[in-house]
């Protein structure tokens, strides 16, 4: 997240996507949250040598992407942005795991299998998290957290942080632009301005918080955040959650690709 | 320092979630009883400030490179440890959701590594103690750098332990420690210096903010003991519960440590896993093909706490490759089909 414009754009994009009204968007936020959590748990519960068994789990993101009519490119881009760290850690696996195995007549280090497994898991988990927010939106997700009895202080503060990120990022962008215009040929903020630049921003943040609090009080803030009505969980919601959980359990218990492959190669033989 | 989901196991993720939830619940209780509700908007907007200020690149003198702040320490200094911890937690939640910076299952680990160590260990034990006597520019610098360095070292060590306990990477403990700690020493020094510069500026411009924060919530010995005790209890109970559920047969030298901590690998054999594979062998159609033998074949373990290495023979690998590609093609077809149908529907409607 080095670039302010990129970050603001990314948040607005996800906000916009969350405002659509597709089958997935209309699902109850709590159901989507629970589905995502069970999906993530299943994905990371696979052993480090598992590759084939992970493949059926591609169905979940693909189905949600298609049903929710989300663009594929920004999501893929996000996965690529996150992957350098994962690759950095994973690429050492072939170095440290010297054991080899033979596939199609050639010898490979077992580390490559663990590396591939980590890459797959990383792609799947990152996509699942992004799909959750892109189909739910922050407000409805906060509603789901309240249903789960997460204390209101935390939820309220989370929503306020989320709400003011774009405001403060724009302020930081203006400040940095002003600074860079007055400090040519400098890469970052000079040491002599560290305290005053960030400190000024911080003081303005304090004053802003005071104004926000006063405005909230004038509008009848009593300590509770009202996010509008969230519908009850209906039968279709339960079916969605149940269906996916059953699929996840099946995919975890049986190696589905191997099953399909054996069936096919067996038939051909 | 953000950990991704791909590198942790459900047991480690779950235990750290429980620990983090415990600390958060305690902090929320403290915030509610000790502070006025005025602080909630302040916490919210401060979270946004940390988010935005991470975009500022501070030039590091004499190196030509630049760094940015994490923000845990400045939050603890200005809001106190409880509100600071909650604020860092919400910043990390938004980073995980919108930027995939750290995973959702790893969220507990991340809040713990970046929030708990700086707010509940380094801040009260180093910063508060050093700043007890008097405020001066020198003291603020000394205390900030020391606190930031120690907080980040602990956090980095947390990352190392959590990753190794999860067993997804082959990195040996020593190598990982040597990779993580020195990098975070440098990051810690920068974090401390920038935090000190900001704190000094605030101290000069609006001393009442600093005074309020430091006099507001004192961490007595009792409360920190309570926090740590509750935390350990939560982690142990969850870890033990999860590993009991997952079965309990970890082998190998490295995992002996986890065993004493009450957790174990989810991928172990026996227990639930055994029951499931029994069920599998009963219900599997095509029992003659090699995929089934896969389960029963003795693992070629190196005895170093490995999990079962799937036996690769000609039959399984061909089946795996054919089935794997077919699964992916099927997934792509389903996705493409749905999109196509949707598009057609729109065209008809419009």
Please check the confidence at residue B303 and state whether its pLDDT lies above 50: no
Question: Taking CB atoms and an 8 Å limit, are B66 and A133 in contact across chains?
Answer: no
Q: Do the chains contact at B104 and A37, CB–CB below 8 Å?
A: yes
pLDDT tens-digit readout, B80-100: 899 999 999 999 999 999 888
Task: Tell me the pLDDT of chain A (269 aa) as tens digits.
Answer: 457 888 888 888 888 999 988 999 999 999 999 999 999 999 999 887 888 889 999 999 999 999 999 998 888 888 887 777 778 777 877 777 777 776 666 777 778 888 888 889 999 999 999 999 999 999 899 989 989 989 888 998 999 999 889 888 888 989 988 998 998 877 788 888 888 898 999 898 888 888 888 898 898 887 776 766 677 888 999 999 999 999 999 999 888 888 888 887 776 65
Inspect the interface and report whether the beta carbons of B32 and A153 lie closer than 8 Å: yes
Cβ–Cβ of B294/A255 closer than 8 Å? yes
Among A1, A2, A47, pick the best mutation site for testing chain B contact (most B Cβ within 10 A): A47
Does B241 have pLDDT greater than 80? Answer: no
Q: Among B22, B41, B106, pick the best mutation site for testing chain A contact (most A Cβ within 10 A).
A: B41
Please list every residue in chain B whose beta carbon sits closer than 8 Å to the beta carbon of residue A134.
none
Query: What pLDDT sits at residue B316?
Result: 64
Q: Residue B67 pairs with which residues in a beta bridge?
A: B58
ipTM entry: 0.89
Which pLDDT score, from 0 to 100, does residue B269 have? 41
Q: Is B284 left (phi over 0), alpha (psi -120 to 50) or beta?
A: beta
CA dihedral angle for residue B104, residue B105, residue B108, residue B114, rounded to 10 degrees: -60
Contacts of B99 in chain A (CB under 8 A): 1, 7, 10, 78
Which structure tokens are listed for A95?
Answer: 């170095």
Task: Enumerate residues 6+ apart whose C-beta is below 8 A from B185.
Answer: B149, B152, B153
Which of B290, B240, B248, B239 is CA-nearest to residue B267?
Answer: B248
Contacts of B348 (CB under 8 A, 6+ apart): none
Q: Which domains does chain B have, with CATH numbers?
A: 5-246 (1.10.1760.20)
Confidence at residue A152, expressed as pLDDT on a 0 to 100 scale: 86
Share of chain B above pLDDT 90, in %: 29
Two structure tokens written together for A182:
């007055």
Q: Which of B45, B224, B203, B180 is nearest to B134 (CA)?
A: B203
Dist. CA A178–CA A201, nearest whole Å: 13
Give the distance, in angstroms, between the CA of residue B134 and the centroid of all CA atoms in the same chain. Answer: 35
Beta bridge partners of A102: A107
| CA-to-CA separations, B7 to A88, A114, B105, B149, B262, in angstroms, rounded | 12, 11, 10, 25, 20
Task: Specify the higher pLDDT residue, B289 or B230.
Answer: B230
Which A residues in the span 241-260 are in contact with B, Cβ-Cβ below 8 Å? Answer: 253-260
**Contact check, Cβ <8 Å, A101/B319:** no
3-state secondary structure chain B: CCCCHHHCCHHHHHHHHHHHHHHHHHHHHHHHHHCCCCHHHHHHHHHHHHHHHCCCCEECCCCCCEECCCCHHHHHHHHCHHHHHHHHHHHHHHHHHHHCCCCCCCHHHHHHHHHHHHHHHHHHHHHHHHCCCCCCHHHHHHHHHHHHHHHHHHHHHHHHHHHHHHCCCCCCHHHHHHHHHHHHHHHHHHHHHHHHHHHHHHHHHCHHHHHHHHHHCCCCHHHHHHHHHHHHHHHHHHHHHHHHHHCCCCCCCCCHHHHHHCCCCCCCCCHHHHHHHHHHHHHCCCCCCHHHHHHHCCCCCCCCCCCCCCCCCHHHHHHHHHHHHHHHHHHHHHHHHHHHHHHHHHHHHC
Inform me whether the C-beta atom of residue A91 falls under 8 Å from chain B C-beta atoms: no
**pLDDT tens column, B66-85:** 778 888 899 999 888 999 99
Rounded to a whole number, what is the distance in Å from the CA of B324 to chain A's nearest CA?
5
Res A111: pLDDT: 81
Sign for the CA dihedral angle at A25, A14, A34, A59 comes to: positive
Write out chain A residues lying below 8 Å of B286, CB-based.
Answer: 259, 262-263, 266
Chain B, nearest residue to A177 by Cα: B56
Mean pLDDT estimate for chain B: 75
Tell me: pLDDT of B249 over 60: no
Task: Return the residue in A255, A267, A269 with the most chain B beta carbons within 10 A, the one to mutate for interface testing.
Answer: A255
Distance in angstroms (rounded) separating the CA atoms of residues A222 and A2: 38
How close A241 comes to chain B (CA, Å)? 18
Report how far residue B293's alpha carbon sits from residue B290's, in angstroms, rounded to the nearest whole number: 5
Evaluate whether B55 touches A4 at the Cβ level (below 8 Å).
yes
For residue A173, give the 3-state DSSP assignment: helix
Instruction: State yes or no: pLDDT of B112 exceeds 70.
Output: yes
Chain B residues close to A64, C-beta within 8 Å? none
CA of A258, closest CA in chain B: separation in Å?
A: 5
Band of pLDDT at residue B293, cut at 50, 70 and 90: very low
Q: Which residues of chain A are within 8 Å of residue B169 when distances are taken between CB atoms?
A: 89-90, 92-93, 114, 118
Contact, A113 vs B310, CB < 8 A?
Answer: no
* Residues on chain B touching A269 (C-beta within 8 angstroms): none
Minimal Cβ distance to B327: which of A1, A49, A256:
A256
pLDDT of residue B231: 64
Dihedral sign from CA coordinates of A135, A139, A143, A144: positive
Which pLDDT score, from 0 to 100, does residue A3 have?
Answer: 76
Beta-bridge partner residues of A107: A102
Q: Please determine, for residue B250, whether its predicted confidence score (pLDDT) is greater than 50.
A: no
Residue B190 has pLDDT above 80, yes or no: yes
Task: Tell me what pLDDT residue A130 has.
Answer: 92
- Which A-chain residues 16-35 have CB contacts (< 8 A) with chain B? none
Cβ within 8 Å of residue B324, ≥6 positions away: A51, A52, A55, A257, A261
A50/B332 Cβ within 8 A: no
- CA dist B343 → A62, A134, B337, B350 (Å): 16, 20, 10, 11
Report pLDDT for B53.
86
CB < 8 Å to B97, chain A: 129-130, 132-133, 138, 141
The confidence band for B19, taking pLDDT boundaries of 50, 70 and 90, is: very high
Give contacts of A206 with chain B, Cβ < 8 Å: 42, 206, 209
Confidence band (pLDDT; 50, 70, 90) for B219?
Answer: very low
Closest in A90, A186, A205 to B45, CB measured: A205
Spatial separation of the C-alpha atoms in residues B12 and B19, rounded to whole Å: 11
Largest CA distance in chain A: 78
Q: pTM to 2 decimals?
A: 0.80
Per residue in B31-75, pLDDT (tens digit) is 888 766 677 888 988 999 998 888 888 887 777 677 788 888 999
Query: Which comes out higher in pLDDT, residue B133 or A127?
Result: A127
Q: Is A103 on the interface with B (CB under 8 A)?
A: yes
State the pLDDT at residue B216.
Answer: 56
Q: Which of B38, B103, B170 sits opposite A93 (nearest CB)?
A: B170
**Residue B167 with chain A: CB contacts under 8 Å:** 48
Closest approach of A110 to chain B, Cα-based (Å): 9
């Amino acid at each position: 997240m080095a670039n302010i414009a990129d970050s603001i754009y990314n948040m607005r994009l996800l906000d916009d996507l969350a405002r659509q009204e597709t089958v997935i968007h209309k699902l109850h936020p709590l159901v989507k949250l629970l589905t995502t959590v069970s999906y993530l748990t299943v994905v990371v519960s696979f052993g480090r040598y598992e590759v084939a068994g992970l493949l059926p789990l591609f169905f979940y993101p693909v189905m949600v992407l298609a049903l929710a009519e989300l663009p594929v490119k920004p999501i893929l881009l996000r996965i690529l942005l996150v992957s350098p760290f994962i690759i950095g850690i994973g690429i050492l696996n072939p170095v440290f795991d010297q054991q080899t195995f033979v596939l199609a007549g050639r010898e490979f280090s077992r580390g490559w299998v663990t590396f591939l497994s980590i890459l797959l898991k990383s792609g799947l988990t990152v996509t699942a998290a992004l799909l959750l927010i892109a189909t739910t939106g922050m407000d409805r997700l906060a509603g789901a957290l309240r249903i789960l009895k997460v204390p209101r202080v935390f939820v309220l503060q989370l929503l306020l942080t989320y709400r003011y990120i774009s405001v403060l990022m724009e302020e930081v962008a203006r400040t940095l632009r002003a600074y860079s215009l007055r400090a040519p040929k400098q890469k970052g903020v000079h040491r002599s301005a560290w305290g005053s630049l960030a400190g000024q921003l911080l003081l303005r943040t304090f004053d802003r918080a005071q104004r926000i609090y006063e405005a909230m009080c004038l509008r009848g803030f009593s300590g509770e955040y009202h996010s509008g009505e969230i519908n009850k969980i209906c039968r279709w919601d339960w079916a969605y959650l149940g269906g996916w959980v059953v699929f996840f359990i099946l995919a975890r218990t049986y190696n589905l690709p191997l099953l399909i492959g054996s069936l096919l190669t067996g038939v051909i033989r | 320092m953000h950990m991704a989901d791909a590198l942790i196991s459900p047991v480690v993720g779950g235990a750290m979630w429980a620990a983090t939830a415990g600390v958060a619940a305690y902090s929320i209780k403290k915030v509610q009883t000790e502070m006025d509700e005025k602080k909630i908007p302040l916490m919210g907007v401060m979270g946004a400030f940390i988010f935005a200020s991470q975009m500022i690149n501070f030039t590091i003198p004499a190196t030509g490179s630049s760094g940015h702040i994490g923000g845990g320490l400045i939050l603890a200094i200005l809001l106190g440890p409880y509100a600071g911890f909650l604020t860092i937690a919400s910043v990390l939640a938004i980073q995980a959701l919108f930027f995939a910076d750290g995973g959702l299952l790893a969220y507990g680990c991340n809040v713990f590594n970046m929030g708990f160590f700086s707010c509940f260990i380094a801040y009260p034990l180093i910063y508060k103690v050093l700043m007890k006597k008097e405020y001066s520019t020198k003291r603020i610098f000394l205390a900030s750098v020391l606190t930031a360095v120690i907080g980040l070292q602990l956090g980095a060590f947390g990352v190392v332990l959590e990753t190794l306990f999860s067993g997804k990477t082959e990195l040996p403990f020593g190598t990982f420690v040597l990779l993580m700690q020195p990098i975070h020493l440098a990051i810690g020094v920068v974090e401390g210096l920038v935090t000190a510069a900001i704190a000094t500026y605030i101290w000069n411009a609006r001393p009442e903010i600093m005074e309020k924060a430091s006099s507001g919530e004192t961490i007595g010995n009792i409360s920190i003991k309570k926090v740590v005790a509750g935390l350990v209890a939560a982690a142990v109970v969850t870890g033990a519960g999860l590993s009991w559920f997952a079965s309990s047969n970890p082998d190998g030298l490295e995992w002996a440590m986890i065993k004493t901590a009450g957790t174990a690998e989810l991928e172990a054999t026996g227990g639930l896993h055994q029951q499931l594979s029994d069920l599998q062998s009963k219900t599997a159609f095509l029992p003659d093909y090699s995929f089934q033998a896969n389960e029963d074949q003795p693992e070629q373990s190196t005895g170093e706490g490995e999990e079962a290495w799937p036996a690769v023979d000609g039959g399984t690998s061909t089946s795996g490759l054919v089935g794997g590609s077919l699964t992916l093609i099927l997934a792509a077809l389903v996705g493409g089909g749905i999109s196509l149908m949707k598009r057609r529907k729109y065209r008809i409607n419009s």
